[in-house]
Amino acid sequence: MKKLYSNKLVIFSLVLPGVLVFVFGVLSPICLSVYYGFTDSTGMGEAHLIGLRNYMDLFHDRVFGRSLKNSLFLAIGFICIQHPLAILVAAVLDKLQGKAEGFFRCIYFIPNVISVAVIAYLWKFIYNPDFGLLNHVLQAFGYQGQINWLSQENAIWSVLIVLIWHGFGWGMLIYYTGIKNIDPIFYEAASIDGASWWTTFLRVTVPLMKPVIQINVTMAVISALKQMETVYLLTNGGPSNSTQFAANYLYQQAFKAFKYGYGNAIGVVFVIICVLATVGLNRIFREQQDV
């Protein structure tokens, strides 16, 4: 058995496809990005090595700073708005028995399976101040004014709303599964103590869900950093870069401004930030668990 299980050739043949896909699909593009990040390439013709200049420029780039701030904003928005809502709804749903439970769970998840392309276009219409759904809804409730949902100040909030709406079912489902996995003994103990539903939720459900919450928080930060497609289609970073994100910005710089080298430098920094964020969050949470 041992011999069979340490046959180098077999191991090699089993691992090779995976490694190939990784090298070809992930590693080599990143390496190429690192190279181009040091050049003044326009994407066409000759490129010259210019050392760290792209990175120096990036350091002073107002728009890139804005992109990172926007990611932070989204992450906080997810954590402070989407996730509390999702846990709460999951807990309420857990109380519900029978068919209705499955029905609601099904409905909540539907936006998640719809393409971002459709979602973004749909919300463009929903946000339109003149004939959009949202202002019509406000009118139906008696509000007379018009709200400019995608204005310089509001746009980032509007982007957040779309993302919360789109991803709500996912977060909810994960919390729901987590809650289902809680041992009923804890609830029985709580009810013997005469705790109300709300107290039980705060004192029993939430603390026991800590590992799930941690996973979800990490996911929220990462997805806020990686945000691109919704913004690309909904606002394309506008008005005036107020909804700019790193991924969208690198795309614009490379394919609109002909700064291919600079775009790649953004890509490299972008990768580093994502890796640092993931590793950092995991470490923080692990330390907490150890305490």
Partner 1 sequence: MKKKRMAVILSAVMTAAILIGCGEAGSTRKDAAGSGQTSASSEDAVTIKIFSNLPDRKNGQGLVEQMIIDEYMAANQNVTIEVEALDEEAYKTKFKAYAMDGMPDVVSIWGQPSFLDEVLDAGVLAELQEEDYTDYGFIAGSLDGFKKDGKLYGLPRNTDIMLIYYNQKMFEDNGWTVPATYNELLDLCGKIKDAGIIPVAMDGGDGWPMACFLTDILVKVAGTEYADIVSRAVATGDFTAPEIQEATQILVNSASVGMFQMGYDSQDYGTTMNLFTNGQAAMYCMGSWDCSMALNQDIAPEIRDNIRAFTMPVVEGGKAGANDIAAWNGGGYAVSANSPVKEEAIKFLNFMYQPDKLSKYGWENGVGLSAQDQTAYLTGNETELQKQVMDILKDATSISGTPINDCGPSAFKTSIESEIQGVSNGSTSVEDFLAAIGAACN
Partner 2 sequence: MKKNNRNIAKVFMWIVLLIVAVIQLFPLIWLVDFSLGSSNEMFTNGLLIIPEKIRWDNYGKAFVDGNFLHYFRNSVLINTLAVVLVVIISIMAAFACQRMKWKMSGLVSTVLVMGMMIPIHATLLPNYKIYHMLHLTDTIWALLIPYAAFSLPQGMFLMTGFIQSIPMELEEAAVVDGCGIYRIVFQIITPLLRPSIATVAIMTFLNNWNEFMMASTYLSSPKWKTLPFSVLEFTGEYSSNYAVQFAVMALTAAPAVIVYIILNKHITKGVAMGAVKG
Whether the CB-CB separation of 222 and 277 falls below 8 Å is answered with: yes
Residue carrying the six token digits 């980032």: 156
Which residues of 1-153 form beta strands (DSSP E)? none
Minimum gap (Å) between residue 185 Cβ and partner 2: 20
| Binding pattern for the stretch 48-87 against partner 1, x by CB under 8 A and - elsewhere | ----------------------------------------
Q: In this complex, which beta carbon is closest to partner 1, that of residue 131 or of residue 141?
A: 131
Q: Find the binding residues for partner 1 in span 260-289 (CB under 8 A).
A: 260
Would you give the DSSP letter of residue 39?
A: B
Closest to 213 (Cα-Cα) out of 274, 159, 281: 281
Among 96, 189, 202, 257, binds partner 2 (CB under 8 A): 96
Residue 36: what residue type? Y
Whether the CB-CB separation of 119 and 111 falls below 8 Å is answered with: yes
Does the protein bind partner 1 through residue 122 (CB under 8 A)? Answer: no
Backbone angles phi, psi at 135, to 5 degrees: -70, -30
Size of the site for partner 1 (CB under 8 A): 35
Does the protein bind partner 1 through residue 141 (CB under 8 A)? Answer: no
Among 236, 271, 273, 274, binds partner 1 (CB under 8 A): 236
| Binding pattern for the stretch 9-48 against partner 1, x by CB under 8 A and - elsewhere | ---------------------------------xxxx---
Q: Find the binding residues for partner 2 in span 76-95 (CB under 8 A).
A: 89, 92-93, 95
Whether the CB-CB separation of 213 and 130 falls below 8 Å is answered with: no
- 48 Ramachandran zone, left/alpha/beta (phi>0; psi -120 to 50): beta
**Sequence-ordered alpha helix ranges (H) in 23-115:** 28-37, 53-60, 62-77, 83-95, 99-109
Six token digits for residue 129: 């101040």
Among 6, 142, 144, 153, binds partner 2 (CB under 8 A): 6
Closest to 265 (Cα-Cα) out of 61, 28, 66, 25: 61
Residue 106: what residue type? C
Among 77, 167, 169, 237, binds partner 2 (CB under 8 A): 169
User: What residue 165 binds from partner 1, partner 2, none (CB within 5 to 8 A, per partner kind)?
Assistant: partner 2
Residue 169: what residue type? G
Q: In this complex, which beta carbon is closest to partner 1, that of residue 174 or of residue 231?
A: 231
Does the protein bind partner 2 through residue 19 (CB under 8 A)? Answer: yes
User: What residue 212 binds from partner 1, partner 2, none (CB within 5 to 8 A, per partner kind)?
Assistant: partner 2
Binding-site ranges for partner 1 (CB under 8 A)? 42-45, 124, 127-131, 146, 148-153, 155, 235-242, 251-253, 255-260
